[in-house]
Amino acid sequence: MFDFFWNLASFVVALGLLITVHEYGHYWVARRNGVQVERFSIGFGKVLWRKVNKEGTEFVIALIPLGGYVKMLDGRVDEVKPEDIDKTFNNKTVYQRIAIIAAGPLANFAFAIFAFYLMFLIGVPSVKPIVGDIMPESIAQRANISSNSEIIEVAGQKTLDWQDVNLALVSQIGESAFTIKTKEQGSASPKTYKVDAANWSFSPDKESAISSLGIAPYRAAVYAELAYIEEDSVADKAGLKIDDKLISINNESINGSWAMFSKNISQLPEQNVILVVERQGENQEIVVTPALIERAGKKIGYLGVVPKSDPYPKEYLFELRYGVVDALGQSLQRSWNLIVLSFDMIGKLLTGDISVKNLSGPISIAQGAGTSAQYGLVYFLGFLALISINLGIINLLPLPVLDGGHLFYYLVEIVTGKPVSEKIQEIGFKFGTLALLGLMSIALFNDFSRL
């Protein structure tokens, strides 16, 4: 229950902030061009808070935080006094109208740059992309990629950590082949591998692009022995002790594998489980009932124990931090890469290289907001930047109900020398609304199917 409210609160904060940024872009440029803004609303429905400024603009926070709008004085829909005609949106030049409409998505892109800038100034704890195991009969094995090597480049894109690797791999979906460059430990000469991706496919909601190739990131050895037991947890109450060596679960040997043990426990919430542990050289049988918790939107079993493990090599850990000037360059580069990647994914969605099953809706966004907020400020900033970019790009789609649709009409007006007729615009708005509702329905269906 706590996870639900945490995710909901994080979602409201994130979406409210990004919608405010988007709408403020419209508002600011509209005011700079002399347009009277009548209402600036964050959310829809019942008004929870309102304030009117000296220019007569009503600022509103409404009950349903799933959008927002800026209501500008418009002679096509409002009764306008003769002295206010110059303040109407429709009375402005086509280039002024383009600037006002484009300002929303551009504000989202600017916010992403700012969020990444803060993230890089603060510093992001990162891990070098060192390859661990290569899965048998996998794409990575067929490409002869070596274990214990560091991935330094994917398809020409430099990779400093696993996030870079994952994003670079996602951009290669639909390609028949691409290259991965690695650096062997202790060697100065990198190696380049050609990856045959003709039969490569994966489901982002179930696995990462990295694991779908058969690459397992390096992990320090983890042992099926208990190093820590949470106080008052089900494990504590059942009598498990530090240094207990796990032998079997429900009469099935785990063969010394913590991964096997953890996977089994996660699948058995609120069920009696028989554990055999070795304690001081003798085997003991303990019955424990894993608690039910929700993590990343999934209900799993939880004991409240931590295994023993080897320390992670310090040379594999680093902090991605830059100075005041370099952080700006990095934030611009990261934002540009994500913008290009997002447009690329939309193109591949249209061509069928990516399934509509990969679309995510508000539930997935809420889970991502909650998870990133739990990890800390720098991760939440990165999440906000990513969602801000996606919000900006979605609004640039040429659907008449979105900013991109309005921009398309204005471009037609520039070419033809006259505005698109009201009748054609009305038909377009109806089509755009249906298309948007269709996409939202698919995204929501995908969200619920993942729960």
Residues acting as catalytic residues: 23
Phi, psi of 280 (to 5 degrees): 55, 45
Task: Provide the 10 A C-beta neighbour count for residue 25.
Answer: 25
Sign of CA dihedral 64, 105, 6, 272: positive
Nearest to 372 by CA among 115, 77, 31, 80: 115
The two three-digit tokens of residue 305, written as one number: 């124990």
- Cα distance between residue 272 and residue 290, in whole Å: 8
Judge whether 311 and 220 are in contact, CB under 8 Å: yes
- Cα distance between residue 80 and residue 325, in whole Å: 49
Nearest to 378 by CA among 142, 206, 163: 163
For residue 352, give Cα distances in angstroms to 68, 344, 348.
Answer: 32, 12, 6
Q: 198-235: buried (b, 16+ CB within 10 Å) or exposed (e) per residue?
A: eebebebeeebbbbbbbbebbeeebebbbeebeeebbb
Strand partners, 181: 153, 192
The two three-digit tokens of residue 89, written as one number: 């949106």
Judge whether 22 and 70 are in contact, CB under 8 Å: no
Which three-class secondary structure state does DSSP give residue 260?
helix
Structure-token match 């090599």, residue found = 313
